[in-house]
């Protein structure tokens, strides 16, 4: 390694010597080489990952869920084409009477969508659980919760001593045969950015056993 580095142009003035190479006990801090990963050399990068769309387009997601459950696996199934699609359709659907979810912060697109729903479609009851014990996000979450309340959203705060990790959403919809409840139960955050990186699963369902009455 020292020999190869001596051929670098920057090393012409003072080539590296034995004192520039040292052993480190334990694992290396790979975060220290983040600058290398950010170099503008796209030919050295892996191609960007694009998750699939397991839910067919052109049909209401509610009609599809009325027929079958859908198990999604992020990031292989795109968050935008599954969970976010469910919430987007719910916010725009005149038959949806309530949207209830947890773990929303200002950096999560679902929170933005629910804010829009509360401002533009007052027919819906929008209910959000905001977690207070969220690493690095406590102050942001409190600030965002106040904005949600101003927008007309009902906000409930989590307990400071407890960490809420499971993510759930409930959509209540008025249909010809009565009220039907649609749910999402997932193991990861409601965050499109991290859903493209972290691996977790979620279930979309209209099973009455899962939707509380």
User: Which of 54, 56, 48 minimizes the C-alpha distance to 73?
Assistant: 54
Q: What phi, psi does 185 have (nearest 5°)?
A: -125, 120
The answer to whether 74 is a known catalytic residue is: no
How many CB atoms are located within 10 Å of the residue 68 CB? 10
Instruction: Kindly state the helix (H) or strand (E) to which residue 63 belongs, with its residue range.
Output: helix 61-67
What angle separates helix 109-120 from helix 83-92, to the nearest 10 degrees?
Answer: 10
Q: Collect all residues with Cβ–Cβ distance below 8 Å to 26 and sequence separation of at least 6.
A: none
The span from the CA of 113 to the CA of 135, in Å, is: 23
Catalytic residue among 49, 74, 165, 184: 165
Report the chain's C-alpha Rg in angstroms: 23
Q: What residues form DSSP beta bridges with 154?
A: 127
**Mind telling me the catalytic residues?**
165
């Amino acid at each position: 390694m020292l020999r190869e580095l001596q051929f670098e142009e920057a090393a012409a003035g003072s080539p590296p010597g034995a004192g520039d190479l040292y052993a480190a006990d334990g694992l290396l801090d790979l975060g220290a080489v983040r600058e290398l990963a950010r170099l503008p050399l796209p030919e050295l990068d892996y191609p960007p990952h694009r998750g699939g769309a397991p839910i067919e387009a052109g049909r209401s997601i509610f009609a599809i869920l009325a027929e079958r459950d859908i198990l999604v696996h992020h990031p292989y199934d795109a968050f935008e084409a599954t969970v976010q699609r469910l919430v987007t359709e719910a916010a725009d659907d005149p038959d949806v009477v309530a949207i209830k979810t947890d773990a929303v912060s200002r950096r999560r697109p679902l929170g933005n969508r629910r804010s829009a729903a509360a401002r533009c479609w007052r027919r819906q009851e929008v209910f959000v659980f905001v977690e207070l014990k969220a690493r690095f996000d406590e102050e942001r979450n409190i600030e965002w919760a106040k904005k949600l309340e101003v927008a007309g959203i009902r906000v409930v705060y989590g307990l400071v001593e407890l960490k809420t990790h499971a993510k759930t959403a409930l959509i209540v919809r008025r249909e010809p045969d009565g009220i039907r409840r649609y749910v999402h139960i997932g193991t990861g955050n409601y965050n499109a950015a991290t859903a493209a990186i972290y691996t977790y699963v979620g279930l979309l369902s209209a099973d009455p056993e899962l939707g509380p009455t």
